Amino acid sequence: MTRSPKNTNNFGGFSLIEMAIVLFIVALLLGGLLPTVSGQIELQRRNETRKQLDDIQQALLGYVISKGYLPCPAKSASDGTEDRAGSGTCNKRFGFLPWTELGIKKTDSWDRLFTYSATPAFTNSVTTFLLNSGRDITIKSRDTTGTLINISNSNDIPAVVVSHGPNGIFGTSGNGIVTTSMAPSSNNVDDQKNNSINGTANGLVFVSRDPASPANNTDEAFDDIVVAISPNILFNRMVSAGKLP
């Protein structure tokens, strides 16, 4: 009695062709899932960073109620204490959030330092601010034509904090490395306004807008998250705490 030869192309009931088809289908499924998973991770990071920014707002308000003035920017990317001169003024008005001074996490969800700018009249520890003290920061956005427009009153914001988002353009990592502009650099105009080192407006103008709607393709890579300290909330907290008349 002759025996038929074994099928060497069979693995536990599956042929090589069948196995290839299965692997191809799995690859397609995984390829479709990866963008979804990646998007969910980025959404989670963005939500976590927004929560951090909410906590930072409260930390800054708590600091000013306790001290009577806002903190100065940090001394450097490695030193989170405020950079204050003996005269009570800040050595800089624009730089990194003083994370050590506020007792908060150093970086956002993308491991980048928060940019921070504060009006000098509100950071002076000797001549503290009053209800009529002038502010000097303006928050802008873009209309449907791509034109910059104010979304705060001009020179009305006492302090602002910025996360430079997933791409981190012009942001600074926790170890002090700056993310340079993406090509074409001329299109990164909104990111440049929020530059963590030397913004084009020297910490006086910041751009805040929906990253999903790049008006007229102006700075299509923009994804910064900008939070302003409202003067009305600040004054209300100070008056309630008996720090202002």
Domain ranges, ordered by start, for the chain: 36-240
Over the stretch 11-53, which tens digit does the pLDDT of each residue have? Answer: 455 677 877 777 777 776 666 655 666 778 888 989 999 999 9
Does 166 have pLDDT greater than 80?
yes
Neighbours of 77 (CB within 10 A): 19
Cα dihedral 203→208→213→219 (10° resolution): 10
Does 5 have pLDDT greater than 60?
no
| pTM for this predicted structure | 0.82
CA-nearest of 80, 84, 83 to 106 is 80
**Omega within 30 of 0 (cis) for the link into 184:** yes
pLDDT at position 146, please?
A: 83
On whether the CB atoms of residues 222 and 209 are closer than 8 A, the answer is yes
Average pLDDT, the chain: 86
Does 142 have pLDDT greater than 60?
yes
Does 209 have pLDDT greater than 70?
yes
Residue, of 62 and 190, whose pLDDT is higher: 62
pLDDT at position 195, please?
A: 87
Does 57 have pLDDT greater than 70?
yes
Mean pLDDT of 160-182: 90
Concatenating the DSSP letter of every residue in 132-199 gives: TPPP-BEEEEE-TTS-EEESS-TT-BSEEEEE-TTT-TT-BBTTSPBPPPPSSGGG-HHHHHT-TTT-
Over the stretch 72-125, which tens digit does the pLDDT of each residue have? Answer: 999 999 999 999 999 999 999 999 999 999 999 999 999 999 999 999 999 999
